[in-house]
Structure 1
């Protein structure tokens, strides 16, 4: 096929935004759509090559996969190999075990399935996974297992039939993706069936322009570039990609491919040597950037600042140039044939696959080698043991993994005092934030002679009629109400936890370098279980009404309801910071960290307003900010104090943090005259 420098320039518009987005989402909020751009480019180039081979009667599956292997594997294997010593030296046991699994999944082109399976509520943070970005390679290779064969089978019926069948396949995939972003967002993001339509847009471009050159068009090319710029600047992690909004960057890419020629100003810009140069390095740069950022974040106790991130971006492109020059090019086909023989490619592919699968299995079986000695002299297991936790009761049910249990509470989630006959009963309900408090709640109330029942569902608001997209939360709330109404105890005391994420689906940023790590799809919000609120258009007023109605339903049951107001979000991942200091530094160097009280009050104003508006003699209120943001803090909210982390991550409070709340909770118990 004829070389088009503007396509390489377009690659640079895909890879640079992705890298800047992964450095800091604020720099390029929609930069993740660069992957969508790559899918379109890939579909166009691969289909064009296959159509040419079919037309000339030289189509060969063996040749096709040889070209893919030469293009993909040498640089991929090299970057994976270079990552191994850093993973061994810097990763705690669980992270290394996860990395080992990703080694095997990556070389088998199944990493998208692995990362999809890991996306439960408490999976490791995505930005700390060195091989997370290989999910897109897996999508492409899974697609190319079947696509050449389908194209070959349809070729005999003519291009019109080929185009019609692929249009139908693309539409089915797009419809499925639009459903999935609202119901199974993690699957929509990672899995091939929901990404196929993006590759198909590239295929359409190849078929349309095959055997004839589509006339250049200044306006349509400019429109395509404008759509790409818009997506990069105005898409966010809440934009439901790869649903219908993804048409913006995908169609923009298609317009550039079809209508941007050197005769257009867009084609002229994209053919610039600088952009073409970055485009040539795009694959190697894409491979390098995620491991570099991930290992920097794993090693640094606090999030890397802007100068360091910029330096890492420069390092990415330096390594990319070296990889392109000395690894990619020798394995690629050129006019003189190949620098490396087919036998060597096959042998290297088999050997590399065997090595990485073996390493993956070895790391998995040995649970990440937690007895490795960290730079501080402690083993990684010892350093991990210093991380604060509130999830010791293991009673939080994740509806994305498990079905709703037939019996509530679970047998292991009912706690009784030693003398068996309890003085009273407390029921702790809520999501993972209530779960984080559970061990301290159990300890304090059982010591007092109470029975404690834990009814905890991660990611679910504990209100009847309120749910989150793509979950069984409303079913949980219904069963919760039934339990509270039918299993009457002498006294029920209900604790409920709240957080602002449920109202406006916006990840927290403390404005000081600490921010909640967001995934690249819509964050669940509270929505009416029957009418629904579109995930991409959260309605704060409607959500407030839903919470008030849900609270009213709980209050109707009769026992006192103790509502725990929002816990100040930290932004800093306190548990990780403690672990890193234990692993890499002297533990006496633990920093004191805090966040702005003003930021907390501004973000949580709608929730506080909602709870304050509820009037009932049965309602008691607990204010975490009065503990975490006391007057001594001088406008700050404590996160790590005197080497003790009050949080286990960026917003779930630790057992130590919960213990600070217990005097306020117990004061209400005494005020009610309870034993």
Structure 2
């Protein structure tokens, strides 16, 4: 790569490009509308990927220009990043602090405080990768979840400039080829990770770096004045429109069920690259992106992105699920906050006075303050929360909403743990997923001296030879197959077992966006008939072992988070009856499961929890002041105990009642 070509190529692309500001607007609005819950924007999360491509292109262009001029300095580079990122970020965090203190339940406040530390260290992507799972709080209620993308980007910019500097000085002609190799390795890792570690592929740098590198590769081609980077005039209009179309197709056609990132991310990222490469002021795409309102959003895009998640999360935390009119108002508030942050925070901090020691002091003091507050809140949330309104009420509600793992938290996946067995020679085996876990307290409440062994794994129904593949996570499905075979093998070694209780919502096996892994390794589309056959085969195998078996249906559900509704009712001092619902309002997902269980052969013993919890067509979410639910479907610990005593779960599950007299829903 000749220095003259570098200089000429970069000079030709150094002017401010309104098309890129417009592209930023498309990206941030896609994310905002997606997170606001507008179904048509279900794939709007790809806006983050568009941001990555833009960032990779622009930042690499700047670095190459300075390397060519011999003026590149890591200190100045990181100083620019600090001026760009930290002021608006610190403001958002500072505003979130009192709101979190005021509104969040103690456990959620501790999680907020913990995430605060990771955010200012630009490692929140690692934090959320480790924390978010089946039992994690609703991601929509995490005010700082969106900062994962800042973590990815800043981790990238710690490493990538060093690589560029080194190769530039040692083997400059290797630069483009080496970067392309990095891109291919990262993309390959992202795609392979979808099957084994989908959460890692989504949150961590190795599987996301290729998106930033994609923009960097184009910057390198521009710097070299490579023919590939020079889009002929006749092709600019169709290619730039095609790029916009690819982004919008991903926004409107993708959903959270789309395996992502990996090859699926090529559509929005290549679309962004086409816009960067081909859109000019003369093209139709360029004119659309240069429209004044679009430009305004693009200029404020970073601040808008920072504010949208806290605004939505705190509103959802405090209010009932906001309807579209309220969400529209919250979007307007987000845009206003984004503008104010851009105008009065981002702009002033770009002035020359904010550099050197002054900027370093601002950054270090701010980071230190948030880290101290975060660490204190993580370990001693009571220091802050005890002075918050309704603290004692929050503690009581939080106890009712504590996660229900059954006998012990260790019983989720861990085999053979002594805490998951109440006697040396148990008579009852509780087998299934989290919807089996929540029955344990009720069984023990109805028969305190019961010999119970719990074998449960979250998301894994007690079905032999079949497992759900969700979000492309093949390894979890394989683990589920092994788990159920292990439980059956263990049952054969436990002659004291007389009763087997099977429980699951089974919904994960019926969702069309999932697939089913069968024991011979084939992946099949979801088929309720296949699931029913697997359940019948499991019951047949248990019958051969001469144990009495019962299937327990999931509790009635209306699709809303009943635990959250109950907690909010206490906080707002309104009747808990607000969260009850008519049996006719049962969710379609729950009805599909009930139809599956109703299709079992006559004589199959099934306990229908809706018969216990819905009287006269009215389904209760509480009994007195006791919450029956902790979320959208799981029984709370107190709820399980209350129902277990009231309806004698032990007698129900071991055949003390005519369980075959089923009222099919």
TM-score by length of 1: 0.87
2:461 is matched with 461
Whether 2:158 is the aligned partner of 1:145: answer yes
Q: 1:358-405 deviations in whole A, cap 9, x for unaligned?
A: 111111120454752453473532342344764453246444xxxx43
Q: 1:610-661 deviations in whole A, cap 9, x for unaligned?
A: 44444486x411112323344332xxx4434655432110111234654547
Whether 2:480 is the aligned partner of 1:477: answer no
State the Cα distance separating 1:331 from its structure 2 match: 1.5
2:636 is matched with 654
Whether 2:616 is the aligned partner of 1:631: answer yes
Q: Is the 8 A contact 1:371 1:379 kept in 2?
A: no
In 2 relative to 1, CA 135–382 (structure 1 residues): closer, same or farther, beyond 3 Å? same
Q: Is the 8 A contact 1:112 1:136 kept in 2?
A: yes
Q: Is the 8 A contact 1:548 1:611 kept in 2?
A: no
1:563 is matched with 551
12-21 or 560-569, which moves further after superposition? 560-569
Distance of 1:122 and 1:188 partners within structure 2: 20
SS state of the match for residue 649, structure 1? coil
State the Cα distance separating 1:673 from its structure 2 match: 11
Distance of 1:622 and 1:142 partners within structure 2: 52
1:495 is matched with 501
Q: How do residues 161-172 of structure 1 correspond to structure 2 at under 5 angstroms?
A: 161-172=174-185
Distance of 2:111 and 2:434 partners within structure 1: 22
Higher fraction of helix? 2
SS state of the match for residue 382, structure 1? helix
1:294 is matched with 313
2:436 is matched with 434
Q: 1:308-341 deviations in whole A, cap 9, x for unaligned?
A: 21111111111111111111011225xxxx1423
SS state of the match for residue 496, structure 1? strand
1:321 is matched with 339
In 2 relative to 1, CA 151–371 (structure 1 residues): closer, same or farther, beyond 3 Å? closer
Distance of 2:410 and 2:117 partners within structure 1: 30
Q: How do residues 192-207 of structure 1 correspond to structure 2 at under 5 angstroms?
A: 192-207=205-220
State the Cα distance separating 1:425 from its structure 2 match: 1.3
Whether 2:356 is the aligned partner of 1:342: answer yes
SS state of the match for residue 240, structure 1? coil
1:244 is matched with 263
SS state of the match for residue 135, structure 2? coil
In 2 relative to 1, CA 501–244 (structure 1 residues): closer, same or farther, beyond 3 Å? farther
In 2 relative to 1, CA 73–629 (structure 1 residues): closer, same or farther, beyond 3 Å? same
Q: Is the 8 A contact 2:316 2:322 kept in 1?
A: yes
2:518 is matched with 528
State the Cα distance separating 1:305 from its structure 2 match: 2.1
State the number of aligned residues: 630
Q: How do residues 235-274 of structure 1 correspond to structure 2 at under 5 angstroms?
A: 235-274=254-293
In 2 relative to 1, CA 29–375 (structure 1 residues): closer, same or farther, beyond 3 Å? same
2:451 is matched with 451
SS state of the match for residue 477, structure 1? helix
Q: Is the 8 A contact 1:462 1:477 kept in 2?
A: yes
Distance of 1:569 and 1:70 partners within structure 2: 49
State the Cα distance separating 1:411 from its structure 2 match: 1.2
In 2 relative to 1, CA 95–435 (structure 1 residues): closer, same or farther, beyond 3 Å? same
In 2 relative to 1, CA 543–620 (structure 1 residues): closer, same or farther, beyond 3 Å? closer
2:567 is matched with 579
Distance of 1:122 and 1:668 partners within structure 2: 26
Q: Is the 8 A contact 2:548 2:654 kept in 1?
A: no
In 2 relative to 1, CA 541–63 (structure 1 residues): closer, same or farther, beyond 3 Å? farther
8-17 or 22-31, which moves further after superposition? 22-31
In 2 relative to 1, CA 227–553 (structure 1 residues): closer, same or farther, beyond 3 Å? farther
Q: How do residues 376-395 of structure 1 correspond to structure 2 at under 5 angstroms?
A: 376=390, 378-387=392-401, 390-391=404-405, 393-395=407-409
Q: Is the 8 A contact 1:574 1:640 kept in 2?
A: no
Distance of 1:85 and 1:651 partners within structure 2: 31
133-142 or 339-348, which moves further after superposition? 339-348
Distance of 1:539 and 1:73 partners within structure 2: 50
Distance of 1:601 and 1:273 partners within structure 2: 44
State the Cα distance separating 1:546 from its structure 2 match: 3.7
Q: Is the 8 A contact 1:388 1:575 kept in 2?
A: no
In 2 relative to 1, CA 289–157 (structure 1 residues): closer, same or farther, beyond 3 Å? same
SS state of the match for residue 80, structure 1? helix
Distance of 2:654 and 2:224 partners within structure 1: 80
SS state of the match for residue 378, structure 1? helix
Q: Is the 8 A contact 2:110 2:381 kept in 1?
A: yes
TM-score by length of 2: 0.88
Whether 2:337 is the aligned partner of 1:352: answer no
State the Cα distance separating 1:162 from its structure 2 match: 1.7
In 2 relative to 1, CA 377–254 (structure 1 residues): closer, same or farther, beyond 3 Å? closer
Whether 2:43 is the aligned partner of 1:61: answer no
Distance of 1:206 and 1:179 partners within structure 2: 27
State the Cα distance separating 1:40 from its structure 2 match: 0.8
State the Cα distance separating 1:283 from its structure 2 match: 0.3
SS state of the match for residue 621, structure 2? strand
Distance of 1:541 and 1:174 partners within structure 2: 37
In 2 relative to 1, CA 479–557 (structure 1 residues): closer, same or farther, beyond 3 Å? same
State the Cα distance separating 1:284 from its structure 2 match: 0.3
Indicate which of 34, 38, 46 corresponds to 1:21: 34
1:515 is matched with none
Whether 2:64 is the aligned partner of 1:51: answer yes
Distance of 2:171 and 2:583 partners within structure 1: 67
2:375 is matched with 361
